[in-house]
Every structure is written in structure tokens, then in C-alpha cells.
């Protein structure tokens, strides 16, 4: 049962990170014209979050 809970938790966080990261990147595109510094920070953090989400999907696939 503990393994199933870990799998579900990893899957939930993976999708939260992926969608949150992509949303952050899209918002940074709209913000880039007015606040380039903040937009760059949003882009970097969004890409990192999405990459972590993809890493969690890979980790979830390797769980037994």
C-alpha cells in the first residue's frame, strides 16, 4: 500500500510541476514586453519546474 501511495503522490506532483511550469513560461511571454527581468525569472523557474515534472514521470515509471 505504501508503494501505491508513493506512486500516486509522484504522479500528482509531476503533473502539477509540468502544468505550473508551462503556465509560468506562457505568462512570462506576455510579461516580457513590460518587465523583462521578471519575465526572465518566470521563464527560468517555469522551465525548471517542467523539467522536474518530467523527471518525476521518469521516476514514477521506474517504481516497482
Segment 34-55, tens digit of pLDDT: 999 999 999 999 999 999 999 9
Please state the rounded mean pLDDT for residues 2-15.
Answer: 92
Predicted TM-score (pTM) of the model is 0.88
The count of domains in the chain is 1
HSE (side-chain half, CA atoms, 13 Å) at 15: 5
Q: Is the pLDDT of residue 1 over 80?
A: no
The range of the structural domain enclosing residue 8 comes to 2-62
Q: How confident is the model at residue 63 (pLDDT cuts 50, 70, 90)?
A: confident
CB 60, CB 18: distance < 8 Å:
no
Helix (H, G, I), strand (E, B) or coil at 35: coil
Amino acid at each position: 500500500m505504501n508503494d501505491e501511495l508513493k506512486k500516486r503522490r509522484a504522479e500528482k506532483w509531476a503533473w502539477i510541476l509540468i502544468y505550473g511550469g508551462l503556465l509560468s513560461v506562457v505568462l512570462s511571454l506576455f510579461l516580457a514586453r513590460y518587465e523583462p527581468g521578471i519575465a526572465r525569472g518566470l521563464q527560468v523557474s517555469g522551465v525548471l519546474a517542467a523539467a522536474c515534472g518530467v523527471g518525476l514521470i521518469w521516476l514514477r515509471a521506474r517504481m516497482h
